[in-house]
């Protein structure tokens, strides 16, 4: 259960709910990880006793499901690598072709993913990789078809030259790509630039014969090849640092997988500095590391990248819905709850009061002389007075209390777990706040005050919310009428 608790803690940090602080968290973890069916809607209400909402529970289920899928992929990968080891033992050329072919197929998938989902994800980093990698795959394909005498008359030097050229291109791509985590990419410039680089490299190698030798028959790797592999490793390590600097603006899972992929590429390049025979053991190890790197790229960019645009779309939709929901409950002028928000929250407060046996105070407030402020100073000043009064009320209550504007210059306060003298204390705080307000003082000789009606609701009361509200309203108007004769 320890790894499960760690998983839930990570989920809590990500989704903003401290799951593990609940008293029944052990039972909760057991249910989530062993009992909870992903499509069982009725279980969501059960989790209310743990203080969790539906969205958090859905995210926990998704994480549990993803962990199971990831382990299945790891096991499948182990079987696949074992099969490749057997193939390499009996037919190394077939092994090499399969590894390089798989890499080229993955690059094709990356290209399709990056270009076709860009309008949804807006992910320039993925788009950069998606455009650059097909050119690298072109050189890799030529390396694969010239390897080990597949094309007659071509020795191992050309194949090794093509390999080195492709790795230089890949390392530089990884180094430059992090710039586009925050910058906008111009795809046309990248296509033409990468095309010119690829064409130039192939021309130097195939036509001009100016590309340095990388493999010498009977001697093994040339000095240029070994130095190139070291330089490539250094470039990739710098690219990891570069990516880390800009990691705050990208998907965390994608960042970690790309870093691990880069490290496996470094290990592959190191292995390729040690072989003397193109069919040797270190060549085999290097290709396994390269395969692992490509699988991680597939895992990170293809699988996570496919999820990312849709997650982004749904997150934006959820954010928009949350904003709409919040706006539907809030007064746009003062930022207080409106009448609808008050009824929804106050009803829940009374239900909690009955369940937990505590008192709730209702204070109905109506501004005095507010019409005179509007008539004398204009409605813009009236709006400022309303906002100032709302701010004073908010500063007088705790974060668990409810303050709402019911309309016009009428307000209501709902005080949770109220004491017997709660109305008197709050009345004094609000009056003191009005005295300290520079805006209210600037309106003199007009005096902005308020009339108050308060009702203390007890857990045993049979009155519903509407009855309590009407009673507070009536008391407020009684007090307002008394002021007219004072």
Of residues 97 and 426, more confidence is placed in 426
Q: Confidence class of residue 312 from pLDDT cuts 50, 70 and 90? A: low
What would the DSSP string read from start to end of 249-295?
GS-HHHHHHHHHHHHHHHHHHHHTTS-SSTTSHHHHHHHHHHHHHHH
Nearest to 291 by CA among 128, 114, 78: 78
Predicted local distance difference test score (pLDDT) of residue 91: 78
Predicted local distance difference test score (pLDDT) of residue 288: 81
Could you give the percent of the chain with pLDDT greater than 70?
76
CB under 8 Å to 105, separation ≥6 — which residues? none
Could you give the percent of the chain with pLDDT greater than 90?
22
In angstroms, the CA 238 to CA 243 distance is 9
Q: Confidence class of residue 48 from pLDDT cuts 50, 70 and 90? A: very low
Give the pLDDT confidence of 335-394 residue by residue, as tens digits: 899 998 899 899 999 999 999 999 999 999 999 888 888 888 888 999 999 999 999 999
CATH no. for 91-319: 1.20.1070
Residues in the chain: 486
Residue 88 confidence (pLDDT) above 80: no
Predicted local distance difference test score (pLDDT) of residue 38: 42
Please say whether the beta carbons of 385 and 439 come within 8 A.
yes
For 413, the enclosing helix (H) or strand (E) is strand 410-416
**Which of 19-33, 59-73, 372-386, 448-462 has the lowest average pLDDT?**
19-33
Residues 7-12 have a mean pLDDT of 45
Give the pLDDT confidence of 454-485 residue by residue, as tens digits: 999 998 888 889 999 999 999 999 988 887 76
3-state SS, 86-115, equals HHHHHCHHHHHHHHHHHHHHHHHHHHHHHH
Q: Confidence class of residue 184 from pLDDT cuts 50, 70 and 90? A: confident
Domain ranges of the chain: 1-64, 91-319, 339-484
Q: To 10 degrees, the CA torsion angle through 228, 229, 230, 234?
A: 100
Q: Confidence class of residue 55 from pLDDT cuts 50, 70 and 90? A: low
Of residues 85 and 33, more confidence is placed in 85
Predicted local distance difference test score (pLDDT) of residue 98: 83
Q: Confidence class of residue 47 from pLDDT cuts 50, 70 and 90? A: very low
Residue 69 confidence (pLDDT) above 80: no
Residue 25 confidence (pLDDT) above 50: no
Of residues 317 and 7, more confidence is placed in 317
**Which CATH architecture group holds 339-484?**
2-Layer Sandwich (3.30)
Kindly give the interhelix angle for 54-90 and 281-297, rounded to the nearest 10 degrees. Answer: 160
Give the pLDDT confidence of 107-166 residue by residue, as tens digits: 888 888 788 877 766 778 888 888 998 999 889 888 888 876 555 546 678 888 888 899
Predicted local distance difference test score (pLDDT) of residue 448: 82
Pairing of strands 449-457, 402-407: unpaired
Nearest to 401 by CA among 418, 417, 415: 415
**Which of 140-154, 184-198, 373-387, 409-423 has the lowest average pLDDT?**
140-154
Predicted local distance difference test score (pLDDT) of residue 222: 85
Of residues 445 and 396, more confidence is placed in 396
Query: To the nearest whole number, what is the mean pLDDT of the chain?
Result: 78
3-state SS, the chain, equals CHHHHHHHHHHHHHHCCCHHHCCCHHHHHHHHHHHCCCCCCCHHHHHHHHCCCHHHHHHHHHHHHHHHHHHHHHHHHHHHHHHHHHHHHHCHHHHHHHHHHHHHHHHHHHHHHHHHCHHHHCCHHHHHHHHHHHHHHHHHHHHHHHHHHCCCCCCHHHHHHHHHHHHHHHHHHHHHHHHHHCCCCCHHHHHHHHHHHHHHHHHHHHHCCCCCCCEECCCEECHHHHHHHHHHHHHHHHHHHHHHHCHHHCCHHHHHHHHHHHHHHHHHHHHCCCCCCCCCHHHHHHHHHHHHHHHHHHHHHHHHHHHHHHHHHHHHHHHHHHHHHHHHHECCCCCCECHHHHHHHHHHHHHHHHHHCCCEEEEEEEEECHHHHHHHHCHHHHHHHHHHHHHHHHHHCCCCCEEEEEECCEEEEEEECCCCCHHHHHHHHHHHHHHHCHHHHCCCCCCCEEEEEEEEECCCCCCCHHHHHHHHHHHHHHHHHHHHCC
Q: Confidence class of residue 36 from pLDDT cuts 50, 70 and 90? A: very low
Predicted local distance difference test score (pLDDT) of residue 234: 92
Residue 35 confidence (pLDDT) above 60: no
Q: Confidence class of residue 17 from pLDDT cuts 50, 70 and 90? A: very low
What would the DSSP string read from start to end of 7-24?
HHHHHHHHHT--GGGSTT
């Amino acid at each position: 259960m320890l790894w499960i608790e760690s998983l839930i803690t990570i989920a809590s940090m990500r989704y903003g709910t401290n799951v593990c602080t609940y008293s029944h968290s052990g039972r909760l973890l057991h249910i989530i990880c062993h009992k909870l069916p992903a499509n069982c809607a009725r279980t969501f209400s059960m989790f209310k006793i743990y203080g969790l909402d539906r969205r958090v529970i859905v995210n926990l289920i998704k994480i549990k499901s993803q962990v199971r899928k990831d382990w299945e992929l790891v096991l499948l990968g182990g079987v696949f690598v074992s099969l490749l080891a057997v193939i390499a033992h009996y037919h190394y050329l077939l092994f090499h072709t399969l590894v390089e072919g798989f890499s080229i197929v993955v690059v094709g998938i990356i290209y399709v993913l990056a270009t076709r989902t860009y309008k949804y994800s807006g992910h320039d980093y993925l788009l950069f990789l998606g455009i650059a990698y097909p050119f690298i795959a072109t050189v890799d394909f030529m390396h694969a078809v010239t390897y080990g005498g597949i094309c007659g008359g071509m020795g191992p030097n050309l194949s090794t030259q093509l390999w080195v050229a492709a790795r230089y291109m890949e390392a530089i791509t990884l180094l430059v790509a992090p710039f586009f985590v925050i910058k906008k990419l111009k795809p046309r410039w990248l296509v033409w630039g990468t095309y010119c680089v690829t064409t130039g490299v192939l021309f130097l190698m195939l036509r001009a014969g100016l590309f340095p030798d990388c493999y010498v028959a009977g001697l093994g790797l040339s000095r240029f090849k070994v130095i190139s592999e070291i330089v490539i490793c250094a470039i990739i390590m710098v690219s990891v640092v570069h990516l880390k600097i800009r990691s705050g603006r990208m998907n965390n899972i994608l960042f970690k997988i790309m870093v691990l992929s880069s490290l496996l590429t470094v290990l592959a390049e190191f292995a390729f500095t040690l072989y003397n025979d193109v069919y040797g053991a270190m060549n085999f190890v290097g290709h396994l590391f390269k395969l692992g790197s490509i699988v991680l790229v597939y895992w990170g960019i293809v699988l996570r990248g496919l999820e990312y645009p849709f997650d982004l779309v749904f997150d934006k939709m959820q954010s928009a819905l949350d904003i709409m929901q919040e706006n539907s409950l809030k007064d746009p002028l003062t930022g207080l709850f409106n009448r609808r928000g008050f009824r929804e929250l106050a009803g829940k407060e009374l239900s909690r009061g009955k369940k937990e046996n505590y008192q709730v105070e209702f204070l109905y407030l109506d501004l005095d002389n507010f019409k005179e402020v509007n008539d004398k100073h204009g409605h813009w000043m009236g709006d400022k007075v309303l906002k100032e009064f709302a701010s004073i009320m908010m500063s007088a209550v705790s974060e668990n209390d409810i303050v709402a504007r019911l309309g016009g210059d009428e307000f209501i306060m709902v005080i949770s777990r109220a004491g017997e003298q709660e109305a008197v204390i709050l009345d004094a705080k609000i009056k003191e706040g009005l005295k300290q307000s520079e805006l209210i003082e600037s309106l003199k000789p007009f005096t902005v005050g308020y009339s108050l009606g308060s009702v203390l609701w007890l857990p045993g009361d049979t009155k519903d919310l509407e009855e309590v509200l009407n009673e507070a309203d009536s008391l407020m108007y009684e007090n307002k009428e008394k002021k007219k004769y004072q």
